[in-house]
């Protein structure tokens, strides 16, 4: 029995309202008199906090319901109704969306508080928070949507906010171009998503186009159609969640401010693709081939991105490629039908990746916007809180027990092994080792050893409390949330059961094998990193394969030559030749036609009244000629 609850609709409304209020305040006051930054900060945090409170309320309401009917719905209004397609602006809260809701609002609130400190002194302070609130509202619409269409509204909204926030420092043209790249690559993925939605509607959508109806009717789809829909929807996910081949926007997106990278490109927006696959688990469960393709694309992306991360020298780029790699893990998880494992990795990754990004932001802030790790060093004595929290985050990312990353990554790898995907498992273990390596390479180079830039080192100091307290809270989360899904107890997997269609494996031997392999990979990775960078590392010269990897395998240049330049050439050709002749000349020709006709008729206006009288007589005679014909 579903329950209808109005407060469900309010969850996205609070941040959106905040966005409107801040936006209007910024637009009307930023040029004349400046409002206090504290005011903007306060208004900005109200929305996320209220949404978090309501998320908790949703959680408790769902807990009170029996597992079989654990969902709440709310239909705000009927958006449109065309033929067989009825789309409501409706919201659905079931265990899956409740989990997503919880960490999105929590981490969103913490990052908003952090941004109050980080963005201090910026002249477009209000604009930043307006965009952040707008983003949070869109993400909540995405998560709470009760059907693919409402999800797509949120999907597009977060894409827009990503573009706005990446290009936030708009005096620098390259930031705007990075924003363009993100938006355009996303759009390519969105085309796949829209086609997938269209096919889905065509196949089974006539009886209702929301998740619950689709789940009930999914058995009516033929396997071929189901496979097509799954793959098309996954194309959308590759765009939004930066998998091969559409991952190229995420490293460039680091041009935005660090809180943006933390919130959007680590914790929330990029996980929308994984959420989408989990949401459609009933569909992916119909066709095993689709899941296998998803899993292989995911794990290969993880491998590729880990290789890149091992050679980068910009601290944010390392974390960006790390995000792409971990997203690959998540897709590997949902691809092998371990949906709850994938979502659990989303959950833990949100905590430790946001923590790492905010920590990196703290370092960047302290060193006056220096982002090259080969110009940092020895900061562990000067920035203790940042150091400790970042080490906790790094341990979680690398998969060290008992931190959260270990449990979630291990769950994915175990499920890959147990469902027979040996290839995916072995690549996964290799990537785990590489993850440990590049993470601790970063930690050792930035915090250990001697400072490489003495001047910046002198001026570095720990960040203010408004920035370190979110770091501490996230560190506690990164350390402890792993226990929510302890192998064997599996609280979160049980919680998510009503929303997902998955099989559970239980083989103790494979469980232990997976755990041992993960721990060995972690240890090997950290050892190699310590050997190379633990003591007084210097910036290396890259040759051969290392140089190739440092330049990201020249993938961006390849895309540019194969896709971008021909497209631009076509556009230029159309502009120069087709447009003037095909579209402009009929318009100009029409105007010219009237001028010519006018000049022709001008001849008749002679100015002599006698001639006008002759015209009248001509008319009279013609008229009587015709009338006399009819008189016959």
**Positions in the binding site for another protein (CB under 8 A):** 602, 605-610, 613-614, 617-618, 620-622, 624-625, 627-628, 631
Q: Are 226 and 283 in contact (CB under 8 A)?
A: yes
Least CB distance from residue 590 to another protein, whole Å?
Answer: 23
Q: Which is nearer to another protein, 581 or 605 (CB)?
A: 605
Q: Indicate left, alpha or beta for 191 from its phi (over 0: left) and psi (-120 to 50: alpha).
A: alpha
Q: Which is nearer to another protein, 6 or 605 (CB)?
A: 605
SS (H, E, C) 606-618: CCCHHHHHHHHHH
The secondary structure of residue 539, as a DSSP letter, is P
> Nearest CA to 237 among 285, 290, 173, 201?
290
> Which residue carries 């792409």 as its tokens?
324
Q: Which is nearer to another protein, 224 or 617 (CB)?
A: 617
The C-alpha atoms of residue 14 and residue 137 are separated, in whole angstroms, by 7
Q: Which is nearer to another protein, 587 or 603 (CB)?
A: 603
Least CB distance from residue 612 to another protein, whole Å?
Answer: 8
> Nearest CA to 352 among 485, 238, 473?
473
Q: Which is nearer to another protein, 591 or 604 (CB)?
A: 604
> Nearest CA to 145 among 344, 279, 7?
279
The C-alpha atoms of residue 182 and residue 320 are separated, in whole angstroms, by 13
Least CB distance from residue 605 to another protein, whole Å?
Answer: 3
The C-alpha atoms of residue 250 and residue 328 are separated, in whole angstroms, by 13
Least CB distance from residue 607 to another protein, whole Å?
Answer: 3
Q: Which is nearer to another protein, 506 or 628 (CB)?
A: 628
> Nearest CA to 196 among 224, 221, 231, 149?
231
Q: Which is nearer to another protein, 64 or 600 (CB)?
A: 600
Least CB distance from residue 595 to another protein, whole Å?
Answer: 15
Q: Which residues pair with 200 in a beta bridge?
A: none
Least CB distance from residue 575 to another protein, whole Å?
Answer: 41
Q: Are 179 and 164 in contact (CB under 8 A)?
A: yes
For residue 81, what is the enclosing H or E element?
Answer: strand 72-82
Angle, helices 465-480/95-118, rounded to nearest 10 degrees: 150
Q: Which is nearer to another protein, 31 or 632 (CB)?
A: 632
Least CB distance from residue 632 to another protein, whole Å?
Answer: 8
Least CB distance from residue 611 to another protein, whole Å?
Answer: 9
């Amino acid at each position: 029995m579903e329950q209808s609850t109005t407060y469900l609709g309010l969850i996205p409304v609070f941040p959106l309202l905040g966005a409107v209020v801040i936006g209007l305040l910024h637009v009307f006051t930023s040029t004349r008199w400046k409002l206090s930054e504290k005011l903007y900060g306060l208004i900005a945090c109200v929305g996320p906090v209220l949404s978090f409170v309501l998320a908790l309320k949703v959680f408790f309401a769902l807990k009170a319901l029996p597992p079989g009917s654990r969902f709440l719905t709310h239909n705000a209004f009927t958006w449109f109704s065309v033929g067989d397609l009825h789309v409501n602006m409706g919201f659905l809260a079931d265990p899956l969306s409740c989990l997503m809701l919880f960490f999105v609002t929590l981490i969103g609130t913490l990052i908003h508080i952090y941004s109050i400190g980080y963005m201090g002194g910026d002249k477009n302070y209000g604009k930043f928070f307006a965009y952040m609130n707008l983003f949070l509202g869109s993400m909540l619409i995405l998560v709470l949507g009760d059907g693919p269409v409402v999800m797509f509204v949120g999907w597009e909204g977060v894409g827009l906010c990503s573009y706005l926030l990446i290009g936030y420092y708009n005096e620098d043209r390259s930031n705007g171009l990075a924003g363009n790249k993100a938006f355009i690559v996303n759009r390519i993925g969105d085309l796949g998503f829209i086609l997938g939605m269209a096919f889905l509607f065509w196949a089974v959508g006539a009886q209702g186009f929301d998740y619950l109806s689709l789940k009930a009717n999914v058995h009516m789809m033929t396997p071929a159609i189901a496979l097509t829909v799954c793959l098309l929807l996954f194309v959308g996910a590759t765009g939004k969640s930066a998998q091969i081949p559409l991952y190229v926007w995420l490293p460039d997106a680091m041009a935005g401010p660090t809180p943006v990278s933390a919130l959007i490109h680590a914790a929330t927006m990029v996980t929308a693709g994984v959420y989408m696959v989990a949401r459609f688990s009933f569909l992916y469960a119909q066709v095993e081939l689709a899941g296998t393709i998803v899993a292989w694309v995911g794990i290969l992306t993880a491998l590729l991105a880990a290789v890149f991360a091992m050679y980068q020298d910009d601290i944010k780029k390392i974390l960006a490629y790390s995000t792409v790699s971990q997203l690959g893990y998540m897709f590997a998880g949902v691809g092998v039908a371990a949906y709850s494992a994938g979502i659990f990795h989303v959950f833990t990754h949100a905590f430790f990746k946001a923590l790492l990004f905010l920590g990196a932001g703290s370092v960047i802030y302290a060193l006056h916007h220096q982002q090259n790790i080969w110009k940092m060093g020895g900061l562990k004595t000067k920035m203790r809180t940042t150091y400790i929290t970042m080490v906790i985050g790094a341990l979680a990312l690398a998969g060290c027990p008992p931190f959260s990353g270990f449990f979630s990554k291990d769950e994915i790898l175990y499920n890959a092994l147990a469902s027979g995907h040996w290839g995916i498992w072995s690549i996964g273990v290799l990537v785990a080792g590489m993850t440990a390596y590049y993470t601790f390479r970063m930690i050792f180079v930035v915090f250990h050893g001697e400072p490489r830039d003495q001047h910046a080192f002198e001026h570095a100091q720990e960040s203010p409390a408004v920035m370190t307290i979110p770091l501490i809270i996230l560190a506690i989360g990164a350390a402890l949330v792993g226990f929510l899904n302890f192998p064997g107890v599996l609280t979160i997997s049980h919680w998510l059961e009503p929303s997902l269609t998955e099989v559970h494996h239980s083989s103790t031997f494979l469980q232990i094998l997976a755990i041992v392999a993960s721990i060995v990979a972690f240890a090997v990775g950290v050892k190699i990193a310590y050997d190379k960078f633990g003591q007084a590392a210097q910036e290396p010269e890259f040759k051969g394969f290392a140089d190739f990897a440092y330049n990201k395998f020249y993938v961006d240049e390849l895309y540019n030559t194969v896709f971008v330049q021909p497209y631009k050439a076509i556009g230029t050709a159309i502009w120069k030749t087709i447009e003037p002749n095909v579209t402009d000349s009929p318009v100009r020709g029409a105007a010219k036609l009237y001028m010519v006709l006018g000049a022709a008729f001008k001849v008749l206006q002679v100015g002599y009244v006698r001639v006008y009288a002759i015209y009248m007589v001509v008319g009279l005679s013609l008229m009587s000629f015709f009338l006399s014909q009819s008189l016959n």
